[in-house]
A and B are shown apart, each in its own frame.
Chain A
Amino acid sequence: MSEQTLPPSTSWPGRAVLSFLWRALASPKMVTVLSILLAVTLLLALLFSPQHPGPPASATEVAHWMNDAQERFGRWYETLSALGMLNISTTVWLRGLLALSALSMMVSLADGTARVVRAWRFPGVRQTESFFRAAPRAGEWHVSRERLALVQVLAQQLAWPVWLPSSWLQVRPRREQVGQASYLLQDWLTWRRVGTLLTHVGLLLILTGVTLNARLGWRQEGVMLMPGQAVRLAEQPDLSLRLEGMEGWGGEGQAAGRVALDRSGESSLVGTVALGRPYTAHGVTVYQRDVGPILRVSARDAHGAAAGGRTSTSIPLTDASADMEPADEVRLWFTEARVEHYLLMEDVRRVVRLVLYRQGETWDLRRDELQVQVYTDDPGAPEAQRSLVGEGSVEVMGIAYEFAWEQYAVLDVVRSSCQWLVRVGIGLALFGLAVALLLPPARLWVRVVAEDRESCVVELAGEMSGGPELLAAWLARWRQRLGASDADE
């Protein structure tokens, strides 16, 4: 045989650096460090709350937040704000941490996939002797022939008894005959690795979906509509949203709205939207954020007399907070921040104050109490006061007031075209976690090394994550079940 000279190794100098980076990014230590850093970031966000409400928030919401934050942090507000502590979700370092986490997941996914493929292509059972010898030895048992079948069960159902019912694990062990020796291999570690990889894929899909939704989608928040009203969507002007009507009252979040999404040139799609029950059509989803009461008020002379130049008995009303002409009927919107309204009645020189007292956590117009206070020219205490629950009429100082309730809806409209990625990601991540956590963290080889008519000696080798003492503890329980004794006893 002629001698061959091997060419000198031409290793690229940067290869060592890349290899180091690869190993570092794929290592569990990196995940540990990144997880702790992200946890600390979230704790900082909790410590320095309220945090900035974010870009979709209205100017009023931002103003409210700024007021609260300045009140809470006082002279530290400017410093914390400059450090980004009050708006952590937009800081460069949090985004950097998230990007590094995604990179670490991708590298560890590639690394783990290569390992799984190797394990599949070169399974331990085909390497028999050498692989068996290399594995940590778990001992030799003397087992009666009647119980030998249980050895196979042991390898087949290699599970901690409480992980899952044994009947769930029906995967047969690999078997190979090499010379006189018969080998069985049961390997759950590779399946657990597959589970970990699925979890990583799922988490990456979630991150990708959320990022794409933020980049490609849009939100239009806080659209307040009363029945019959419509609004053109600012981000997609060919679409308009109409509230056709409301069903049920707001008690315990049971009010539902009938909404229609009209696209110019196409028929409108109608659906129901309620708290926790969004409606999707034309690629956008409508969420019901809130509902609230609208009070329809009219007034007339209780004795049927016209006054102040009027020809009818109805008395014109003016909403003091709105820039509008007097009308026979006005509609007043009640919100969490606004529970009182003033009505001006110029013809009869009176002011009516209406206050709605909520009895529970949410609006419930079957129980909530409306208080009607009437003032004359003289400011100070009201001249008269009445209470009303539900709809009806109230007569105060010769004037009958008619009250009827309607509901308005506050809707958020969202376009998120990559929603499916997030759904698939969540499902995959949870499935992968279940596989990685519930399958036993072990592999085991069993070899029959000697046998006679009544008994046989089996040799066991294996490994279990958590250490050899866990494998020993687990096997001890099986040895008891098999009625086996140590071969040298």
Chain B
Amino acid sequence: MPMSDRLVTVLGYGALFVATVLRAGHFFWFRNRGRVALAARGSDVLAAMLLAVGLALYSLRVGHWPFHTAYELLIVGLLGLVLASITLLLPQRDGRQLFIASVLSSSVAVYGLLRGGGAHPALLVYDSGWRAAYVTLSAFGGGALVLAGIAAILALGRESENRAREKVVAGRALAWGVLTLSTGLASGVWWFHRLSGRYWGDARWAGVTVAWLVTMAAWHGREEWLGRGWRSALVGLALGLAGGYTLLGLGVAG
């Protein structure tokens, strides 16, 4: 990746990180300080612009638009998760969950920096769209599971009557994880079926299916899953591992 688009993309991720930290800081330490909130909003806009410019530069350099390799799709899925976490999933005015978002966004940035964008082959059957859906949705679902796992473990640190927010975050992340992972898995199965007439592919399928089964287990036990400490910790850990495993597997496959 040449210096120009890498620099712009890194700056974009940095601005996103700063926006999240500022917003968390605003509610943690600088309550009712309008300037901090304004800075966070400005940082958001700056992040969006820089990321857009970074993607445009990248596209100009490689000669195709930026959803062409599994790596790019993975990054887009993860970035989508971070933005959805900040704007949709997380209840407003809660610094703890915003802290999760900042951790996630910085993880995406680190992941993006470590992997780079150059060495990944273009998708062979990109025009079918099914593989693109498979990778993007599975990445989103895997990230949502990680978020659900973190929220479940965070809930342990609070009294049982004060866990409402963590339960909301965990429940929503789990719901979106189930839905996107299922849709991703179905897209992957369909893509592979159009390639070979079989429903079952290689180890990547098994990895995503393991994550899906763990999520299903957690989902069916959801009525009680935050009721007791150890069970909650185990479910949180399982979800985190399943999500991490999905992301890792997709990353390796990319």
Instruction: Give the B-binding residues of A (Cβ under 8 A).
Output: 28-29, 31-33, 35-36, 38-39, 42-43, 45-46, 49, 160, 162-163, 210, 219, 252-253, 275-278, 285, 287, 289, 361-362, 412, 414, 416, 422, 426, 429-430, 433-434, 437-438, 465-467, 469-470, 472-473
State how many angstroms separate the Cβ of A303 from the closest Cβ of chain B: 46
Q: How many residues of B contact A (CB 8 A)?
A: 46
Ordered by A's residue number, 16 sampled pairs between the chains whose C-beta atoms are within 8 Å are A32-B220, A36-B214, A46-B203, A253-B125, A275-B125, A276-B128, A276-B130, A287-B194, A287-B196, A412-B197, A430-B183, A433-B182, A437-B179, A465-B223, A466-B167, A470-B168
State how many angstroms separate the Cβ of B137 from the closest Cβ of chain A: 11
The B contact surface, by secondary structure, is helix
The CA-CA distance from A371 to B190 in the complex, in Å, is 40
For residue B124, which residues in chain A have a CB less than 8 angstroms away from its CB?
252-253, 275-276, 361-362
The CA-CA distance from A52 to B216 in the complex, in Å, is 28
State how many angstroms separate the Cβ of B62 from the closest Cβ of chain A: 14
Instruction: Give the A-binding residues of B (Cβ under 8 A).
Output: 88-89, 121-122, 124-125, 127-128, 130, 161, 163-165, 167-168, 171-172, 175-176, 178-179, 182-183, 186, 189-191, 194-197, 199, 203, 206-207, 209-210, 213-214, 216-218, 220-223
Would A46 and B179 count as touching, CB distance under 8 A? no
Total number of residue pairs linking A and B with CB closer than 8 Å: 118
Would B220 and A467 count as touching, CB distance under 8 A? no
State how many angstroms separate the Cβ of A136 from the closest Cβ of chain B: 15
* Closest residue of B by beta carbon distance from A284: B197
Would A42 and B210 count as touching, CB distance under 8 A? yes
Known: A42-B206, A430-B182, A433-B178. A278 touches B217 (CB 8 A): no
Choose one: A162, A362, A430, A465; the contact of B88 (CB below 8 Å).
A162
The CA-CA distance from A438 to B182 in the complex, in Å, is 14
The A contact surface, by secondary structure, is helix
The CA-CA distance from A433 to B213 in the complex, in Å, is 14
* Closest residue of B by beta carbon distance from A89: B200
State how many angstroms separate the Cβ of B174 from the closest Cβ of chain A: 9
The CA-CA distance from A219 to B88 in the complex, in Å, is 47
Would A275 and B206 count as touching, CB distance under 8 A? no
Would A45 and B206 count as touching, CB distance under 8 A? yes
Would B213 and A36 count as touching, CB distance under 8 A? yes
For residue B223, which residues in chain A have a CB less than 8 angstroms away from its CB?
28, 465-466
Known: A46-B206, A162-B89, A437-B179. A35 touches B125 (CB 8 A): no
Choose one: B197, B218, B221; the contact of A29 (CB below 8 Å).
B221
